[in-house]
Structure 1
Amino acid sequence: MDENQGKKKNPLLRLLACLVTAALLLTAVMLVANWRKLNFDFIKRYFTYRALERNASGQVDSFPYNGGSGSAFAQLGDDLLVCSGSGIWLYAPTGGLYLEDACSLAHPVVAATDTAALIYDAGGSDLYVYRDREQVFSLTTEANRSILSASLSRQGLLTVVTQASGLKGAATVYGPSFQPLWGVNLSSRFITDAVLSPDGSTLALATAGQTGGIYDSQIAFYSSNRTDADSQTPDVVCSLGNNTVLALDWQSDVLRVLGEDSLDLVSKDGALIASYSYGGRYLKGFSLSGGDFSTLLLGRYRAGTDAQLITVDDQGGELAALPLNQQIISLSSAGRYVSLLTPDGLSIYTQELELYHDMSATQGVRKLLQRSDGSVFLISAETARLYLPD
C-alpha cells in the first residue's frame, strides 16, 4: 500500500471511531438515566448459585432444620441462621450444617448485618455474636442487669441496652474485639433501643419519659469521643412527641425511626428530615431492611385483610403504594426488593412495588427472608429452602 492510499483511509477510520464513541456515550447516558429500571441480579444469582444442586423444577431442594416453627431466623452471608430457646444452628443454602451450639434463651431475638449475626435473650442475660461461621463473642450480664435490646453496626460494633437497679437504662458500646469502650447510664429517662451510626461515630438512643409532665419520646445523640463525665447529657435531642418508638435502623446518614403513628427520618445532627404519617391507619407490618427505603403495611382497621403496602424513601417520600385485600403471612425486604407471602403464594416486588416475580407453590411456608440479590429463603414449620427467581 502506498502512502497516498493510507491517507485516503484515515478520514473513514476517524469517522468510524467518532460513531463508535458516540454510540458508547449514548449507551452510557441511557444506562445512567434508567439504572433503576435495569436489573442484572439474575446474572449475579447465576454465578453465585450455579454450583448448587437443583431439583426437577430448577430450584434448590428443601432441607430440614432444628428448632421448630417457633424459632427466630436470619440470613448470615449466604447461610440461614436458626435460633430456638435451646440451640443455635447455621445452615448452608443446600442444608449442610456448619455449626450447632446449645443455649437457653426464653425470648430469643436475632439480628444480622451483611457479615455478622447477633442473638440475645430479651429480658434475660445471655447474648452471642457470630461471624465467619463461628461464635466470636458471648456475654452474660450481671445478675441485676437484664438485656432490653442489642444491635450491631455496619462495622460490626456491638451496642447493648440493659436495665439495672437504680437506672432506667444503660447503653454500652463494645469495640472490634468486643471490649467495652464507653456507655451512657440514665436515671431520668427509659432507654428502649440504641444503634450506632454506620461509621461508629455517633450513638442514637430511643428514650421515653416526661417533658413538662407530658409523655415524650426522644432520640438522643451521643458522640463516641465523649468522656464518662459528660455522658449523661446528649449532644443533641430530637423530640418525637407521643410517637412511641418501635424500631430503629441506621442506613448511611439517615436514622429510620419507626413509631406507632409515623415513620420519622432523622439526621445525625438531630434534625427531623421528614415524617411519614400513617394518617390514622394502623401499622400491621413493616421492614426497615431495604437498601434505601422502608416498607410499611398499613390498614384502616386492626383486624381484617384490607391494607396498603407502602415503600418510603429516606427523604420521607412515598415511592409507591399497593392496595391489598388478603392475609399477609410474612413480609420481608432487602436490597431493592420486597417480598410478600399470602395464601395465594409468594410475590417479589421492586422498591417501586412493580412485580418482579411470583410463585404459587408455597404450601406450608410460614416465613420469608428476602435477600439483596432477589433470592428468598422460604421457611416452613420443619424445612427451609432457597428460592431462586428465574
Structure 2
Amino acid sequence: MDEMNRGRTSPPPKKRPNLFVRFLTFLVTLALVLGAVVLVANYDKLNFDSIKRWFTYRNLSRNESGQSESFSFEGKDASCFAVLDGDLLVCSATNIRLYSGNAQLYVNQTVSMKDPTVRVAGNSALVYDIGGKDLFVYQNRTQAFSLTLEEGQEFISADLNSQGWLVTVTQESGYKGIVTVYDSSFSPQIRFNLSSRFVMDAALAPDSKSVALLTMGLDGDTFQSRVDLYSLDRTEEEADPDWTCSVGSDVILSLRWNSSGIWALGETTLSIVAPDGTLAGSCDYSGLYLKNFSLEGDGTAVLLLGKYRAGTSAELRVVSADGSTRASLPTEEQVLSLSAAGRYVSLLTADRLDIYNQDLEIYNTLEGTQGAQKVLQQSDGSTMLIDSTTARIYVP
C-alpha cells in the first residue's frame, strides 16, 4: 500500500479566504441591499426625469429660463392641441398639422370637421369629428389609419389605449350605439349593436382584453349613468355585459381606463370603478363647480373646483384612485390652463407657470410666460406653452 501511495502527492492545503476580502464583500452586498431598499421606499421622491429631459432636449436651443425658440403654427381660435412624442399636434375644423419642437412640419392634412377632438395614448394620436364622419390615427409622424363613416352614421366617441387598439362608438338609425373594436393593425375584432341603452363613451382596457362602455338609460323613472364591461373573447351575438356598475344620475363628461381603474368624471362627482365592477371610490365635489380637470396623471385625477362658475377663487385638488383627496391647494388667480401627465400637474396663469408634483408641492416655476394661453404637460416634466399663433417647449 505504501508503494502505491509513494508516487502520489498529497493535495495542497486549502487556503482560507482572506478575512479582509470576505469583510469587503459583505460590506458591498449590504450596501447594494440597503440601496435597493432605499430606492424602493423613496421611488416617488426620487426623480430621474431631469436625466431623461437632458437626453431628449440636449440638441434643442433654449434660453436661460429653459424656453425654446417659439415657432408659428397655423390654427384657428377653436383649435385643439396635443403633444405626441414631443411634437405638437394642432387640429382645427379645416386642417390637421403636426410640428416638431423646432417647427418642422410633418403632417399637413386638409379636413372638414364640425367638432374635432384629439386623444393621445402611447405613441399614437387619435383625431375624430364628434357628430361627424371622419377619424384619423397618427403614428411615427405620419397618418397610420383613417376611417370615414357611411351616410346616416356619425361618431359619438372614440378611444385609443397604449397598445394602439382603437374603439369607436357610432350612431345610426335603429340602434342606441354601435361599438367597434380594432386591434393595433386597425383590423376590426368585434362589433356590438346595442339597442337597450344609449352608449355615450367607451374606454379600452390597458391589456386590450375588454372594453368599458358608458351607457345611459331609464332605471325606474330616472335616467342613470352606468359603466358596462364587455370582454372581447365573446361572440357579437352576446349582448349582455359581463358586469355593470352604476355611477348615478350625473352627466359624465369623460371616461378613462388606466392601471388604477376606470375613471368616470361627472359634473358633480368623480367615480372610480375597479376592473371587477365594484365601485372602488368616489369624490363628491360638495356643491363646488367643476371648472377644469385632467385624468392623465399616474393614478390620480386633477380637478379645479370653484364656489362660483365665474371668478378667480378656486381649489386645485388631486384625487387618488380610492376617491380620497391626496392634496389640495387654494388659488385666487385666474387659471388660463390646467394640464397633468405622469407625476406632474401644471397650472398656467396670466404671468406664471407653476409645475407641481402630485402632492401639489412646487417642482418648478416659470415667471413670464410671454402671453401663453395654454399649457400641455408632458410626463417627463417638460411642457408645451401655446398662444394664439405660436408654441414653444419649456424644459425645467
- Give the TM-score band, short-chain normalised: over 0.9
- Identity among equivalent positions (%) equals 50
Look up the SS of the partner of 2:319 in the other structure.
strand
Instruction: Kindly indicate whether the alpha-carbon contact (under 8 Å) linking 1:202 and 1:222 is maintained by their aligned counterparts in 2.
Output: yes
Does structure 1 residue 214 correspond to structure 2 residue 222? Answer: yes
Instruction: Kindly indicate whether the alpha-carbon contact (under 8 Å) linking 1:347 and 1:355 is maintained by their aligned counterparts in 2.
Output: yes
- Per-residue deviation, residues 105-133 of structure 1 (Å, max 9, x unmatched): 12110111121011111111111111111
Aligned to 2:349: 342
| Equivalent of residue 100 in structure 1, options 88, 105, 108 | 108
Aligned to 2:150: 142
Instruction: Kindly indicate whether the alpha-carbon contact (under 8 Å) linking 1:175 and 1:181 is maintained by their aligned counterparts in 2.
Output: yes
Does structure 1 residue 70 correspond to structure 2 residue 73? Answer: no
Cα deviation for residue 94 of structure 1 reads 1.3
Cα deviation for residue 163 of structure 1 reads 1.5
Cα deviation for residue 181 of structure 1 reads 1.9
| Equivalent of residue 325 in structure 1, options 322, 326, 332 | 332
Following the alignment from structure 1 to structure 2, what is the Cα–Cα distance between the partners of residues 106 and 302? 27
Following the alignment from structure 1 to structure 2, what is the Cα–Cα distance between the partners of residues 98 and 366? 24
RMSD (Å), alpha carbons? 1.8
Within 5 Å, which residues of 2 pair with 1:158-307? 158-231=166-239, 233-252=240-259, 254-307=261-314
Aligned to 2:10: none
Does the C-alpha gap of structure 1 residues 29 and 328 become closer, same or farther in structure 2, counting only changes over 3 Å? same
Instruction: Kindly indicate whether the alpha-carbon contact (under 8 Å) linking 1:118 and 1:151 is maintained by their aligned counterparts in 2.
Output: yes
- Per-residue deviation, residues 131-171 of structure 1 (Å, max 9, x unmatched): 11111111111110111111112211111111111222221
- Per-residue deviation, residues 290-320 of structure 1 (Å, max 9, x unmatched): 1221111111222211111111122223211
| Equivalent of residue 98 in structure 2, options 81, 90, 102 | 90
Residue-pair matches, total: 384
Following the alignment from structure 1 to structure 2, what is the Cα–Cα distance between the partners of residues 286 and 58? 26
Instruction: Kindly indicate whether the alpha-carbon contact (under 8 Å) linking 2:65 and 2:366 is maintained by their aligned counterparts in 1.
Output: no
Instruction: Kindly indicate whether the alpha-carbon contact (under 8 Å) linking 1:364 and 1:381 is maintained by their aligned counterparts in 2.
Output: no
Q: Which moved more, 1:170-179 or 1:326-335?
A: 170-179
Aligned to 1:3: none
Following the alignment from structure 2 to structure 1, what is the Cα–Cα distance between the partners of residues 237 and 78? 44
Letter of the structure 2 residue corresponding to residue 303 of structure 1: A
- Per-residue deviation, residues 26-58 of structure 1 (Å, max 9, x unmatched): 332222222211112111111111112234655
List runs of 5+ in structure 2 lacking aligned partners.
Answer: 1-14
Instruction: Kindly indicate whether the alpha-carbon contact (under 8 Å) linking 2:89 and 2:96 is maintained by their aligned counterparts in 1.
Output: yes
Does the C-alpha gap of structure 1 residues 41 and 176 become closer, same or farther in structure 2, counting only changes over 3 Å? closer
Letter of the structure 1 residue corresponding to residue 254 of structure 2: A
List runs of 5+ in structure 1 lacking aligned partners.
Answer: 1-5
Following the alignment from structure 1 to structure 2, what is the Cα–Cα distance between the partners of residues 56 and 326? 26
Aligned to 1:153: 161
Cα deviation for residue 266 of structure 1 reads 0.6
Cα deviation for residue 91 of structure 1 reads 0.8
Does structure 1 residue 312 correspond to structure 2 residue 312? Answer: no
Computing the radius of gyration from Cα coordinates, the structure with the larger value is 2
Letter of the structure 2 residue corresponding to residue 291 of structure 1: D
Does structure 1 residue 30 correspond to structure 2 residue 38? Answer: yes
Following the alignment from structure 2 to structure 1, what is the Cα–Cα distance between the partners of residues 270 and 145? 33
Cα deviation for residue 209 of structure 1 reads 1.4
- Per-residue deviation, residues 63-103 of structure 1 (Å, max 9, x unmatched): 00111343111111121111111111111111111121111
Aligned to 2:373: 366
Q: Which moved more, 1:43-52 or 1:334-343?
A: 43-52
Look up the SS of the partner of 1:365 in the other structure.
coil
Look up the SS of the partner of 1:21 in the other structure.
helix
Letter of the structure 1 residue corresponding to residue 46 of structure 2: L
Does the C-alpha gap of structure 1 residues 143 and 24 become closer, same or farther in structure 2, counting only changes over 3 Å? same
TM-score, normalization: structure 2? 0.93
Look up the SS of the partner of 1:228 in the other structure.
coil
Following the alignment from structure 1 to structure 2, what is the Cα–Cα distance between the partners of residues 226 and 362? 52
TM-score, normalization: structure 1? 0.94
Following the alignment from structure 1 to structure 2, what is the Cα–Cα distance between the partners of residues 349 and 330? 14
